[in-house]
């Protein structure tokens, strides 16, 4: 995790550099990016805001784990692929990629959502929190600690999604009893079957831990 943090910035710049070169050298991809001011004006006049035509990338601004990111993305880029492949935040997992498993769960403006069914461009200006953004420096989030304490995983692949979902489950007020937790965590599938321990971890945080 630390290693990622220290290399995050240079890698990000590297990737946007190479994208820029790609754009420069590919005439068909000459981007006609619409400046934000024009965009606001277009909306005022009910013209609809032409953000991108086929084969263009569009500037997208996201705040990811508290850091502002400026990206150039194709409209079809999902939030999941953007996090993993543009921002090198590979903690968010690609399980099914069709909204059936919950491994890709992140928070957008504080709400848990599936990043695989989200187009990144639709989150312009919004705040995204991934599993990498939960810990405070060296100190793990209470939910991360509780998952370790209660052995809430085996292979670990679903765990980032489970933890993001679990944190939100408590914040939403849907973790009041075991039945509630099972129902409102049902969007996160664990093929190893760590469910009973995941429920214990959530109950512990709900009953005593920090909630956000």
Q: Which residues contribute to the site for other proteins (CB under 8 A)?
A: 39, 43, 46-55, 58, 74-76, 78, 97-99, 102, 105, 111-114, 117-119, 121-122, 124, 165, 168-169, 172, 174, 182-188
Residue number with CB closer to other proteins (52 or 197)? 52
Distance CA 146, CA 188 (A): 17
Residue number with CB closer to other proteins (6 or 35)? 35
Residue number with CB closer to other proteins (113 or 199)? 113
Distance CA 4, CA 92 (A): 14
| DSSP E strand boundaries for 105-197 | 105-108, 111-114, 127-129
User: CB 206 → other proteins: shortest distance, Å?
Assistant: 15
As a dihedral over the C-alpha atoms of residue 96, residue 104, residue 101, residue 75, rounded to 10 degrees, the angle is -50
Q: How many residues does the chain have?
A: 212
Residue number with CB closer to other proteins (8 or 127)? 127
User: CB 155 → other proteins: shortest distance, Å?
Assistant: 20
Handedness of CA 63, 206, 142, 91 (dihedral sign): negative
User: CB 114 → other proteins: shortest distance, Å?
Assistant: 5
User: CB 86 → other proteins: shortest distance, Å?
Assistant: 17
Q: Name 199's bridge partners.
A: none
């Amino acid at each position: 995790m630390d290693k990622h943090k220290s290399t995050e910035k240079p890698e990000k710049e590297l990737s946007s550099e190479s994208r820029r070169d790609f754009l420069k050298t590919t005439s068909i991809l000459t981007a006609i990016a619409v400046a934000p001011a024009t965009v606001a004006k277009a909306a005022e006049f009910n013209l609809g805001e032409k953000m991108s035509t086929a084969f263009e990338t569009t500037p997208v601004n996201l705040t990811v784990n508290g850091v502002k990111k400026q990206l150039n993305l194709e409209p079809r880029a999902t939030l999941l692929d953007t996090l993993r492949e543009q921002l090198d935040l590979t903690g968010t997992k690609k399980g099914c990629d069709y909204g059936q498993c919950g491994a890709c769960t992140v928070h957008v403006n504080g709400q848990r959502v599936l990043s695989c069914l989200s187009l990144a461009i639709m989150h312009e200006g919004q705040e995204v929190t991934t599993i990498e953004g939960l810990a405070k420096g060296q100190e793990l989030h209470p939910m991360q600690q509780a998952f370790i304490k209660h052995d809430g995983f085996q292979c670990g692949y679903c765990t980032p999604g489970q933890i993001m979902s679990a944190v939100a489950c408590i914040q939403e007020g849907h973790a009041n009893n075991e039945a509630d937790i099972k129902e409102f965590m049902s969007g996160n599938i664990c093929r190893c079957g760590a469910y009973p321990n995941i429920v214990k971890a959530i109950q512990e945080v709900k009953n005593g831990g920090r909630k956000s």
